[in-house]
Amino acid sequence: MKMKKAIIGKKVGMTQIFDETGKVIPVTVIEAGPCPVVQKKSPDKEGYTAVQLGFEEIEAKKLSKPEKGHLEKAGVALSKHLKEFRLENCDGLDVGDVVKADIFAAGDKVDVTGISRGKGYAGVIKRWGAQRTPTSHGGGPVHRHAGSMGSSTDPSRIFPGKIGAGHMGVEQVTVQNLDVVKVDPELNLIAVRGAIPGPKGGIVYIKNTVKNITKKPGVQTVSTNPQKKSAKRA
C-alpha cells in the first residue's frame, strides 16, 4: 500500500495533555527522526518506487563492512536502523535529504507499527483465551492445560495453526488511525492519541493511515468525548 509520508521513531513513553476545553488526552510520545534518506529506488532499476530511511546514529565499529559501505556510499551519517517505505512523493526526496518530525502535523491520521512487548512462555489460557478443563469428577491437576487436540486414527496428526502454549508477544503489531495531537519540531517529538505497541525505547514506524473513514454531514454517530475510543473518529 502506497503511503504519502513516513518516518522512523523511538517510543519515549505515555503521558497526558489537556486540550483547549480542559479535557485530558492520553498520548504516547515518540522521538521521530531526523531520518536521512539512505537510498532511493526507482521503477527502472528495482521495479518500484521507494525510499530507504535511516535512524539513530551509531559508531562505525558496531556495523558490518557491507552496512558501513552502504551508508558511506550515500554520504549520510551512519545509522543503526534502516527501513524502506513506498511513498507516492518520492520524486521530492533525494539521497542525503533529512526527514524530520515536522513532516506530520497536528490532526493527521497515522498508523504506527512496532514490536509488541515480550511476555515469555505462556499457556493456552493466557495466550489464546482458552477455557479451563472441568474442575470436578477427577479432573486432576491439569485444569489450565490444553487438553485433547482432537486427533484420532484419521488424521493422526495435529494440523498447523492449532493453538497451544508457547512464546507470547514479540510480534509486529500495527495500530491504525491514530490522531497526531502535537508535534514539536525542535525536540523531534510527535504525540499521538492512545497507546502504541512495544516497550519504552522500542523502534516504531509512523506512516499515513490506510483507513479512509468519512462521516456523513449532520449525523452524529460517535461520542465527542476524547477519552472514549469512539471519539477518535469524530
* pLDDT band, residue 96 (cuts 50/70/90): confident
Q: Are 190 and 5 in contact (CB under 8 A)?
A: no
Segment 19-27 shows an average pLDDT of 90
> How is domain 6-118+172-233 classified at the CATH fold level?
Elongation Factor Tu (Ef-tu); domain 3 (2.40.30)
Q: Are 234 and 224 in contact (CB under 8 A)?
A: yes
Helix (H) or strand (E) segment spanning residue 97: none
pLDDT, the chain, mean: 87
Q: What is the pLDDT of residue 1?
A: 44
Region for 67 from its dihedrals, namely left if φ exceeds 0, alpha if ψ lies in -120 to 50, beta otherwise: alpha
Least confident of 78-82, 128-132, 221-225: 221-225
Where exactly are the structural domains of the chain?
A: 6-118+172-233, 119-168
Instruction: Give the C-alpha separation, 16 to 185, whole Å.
Output: 19
- Asked if residue 185 has pLDDT above 50, the reply is yes
In percent, how much of the chain has pLDDT > 70? 89
Segment 25-43 shows an average pLDDT of 91
Segment 78-103 shows an average pLDDT of 86
- Asked if residue 221 has pLDDT above 70, the reply is no
- Asked if residue 189 has pLDDT above 50, the reply is yes
State the DSSP code for 17: E
Segment 86-93 shows an average pLDDT of 79
Least confident of 12-26, 33-47, 85-99, 183-197: 85-99
Q: What is the pLDDT of residue 59?
A: 92
* pLDDT band, residue 218 (cuts 50/70/90): low
Helix (H) or strand (E) segment spanning residue 67: helix 65-74
| CA atoms in the 13 A half-sphere facing the CB of 49 | 12
Give the pairing type, strands 6-18 and 203-208.
antiparallel
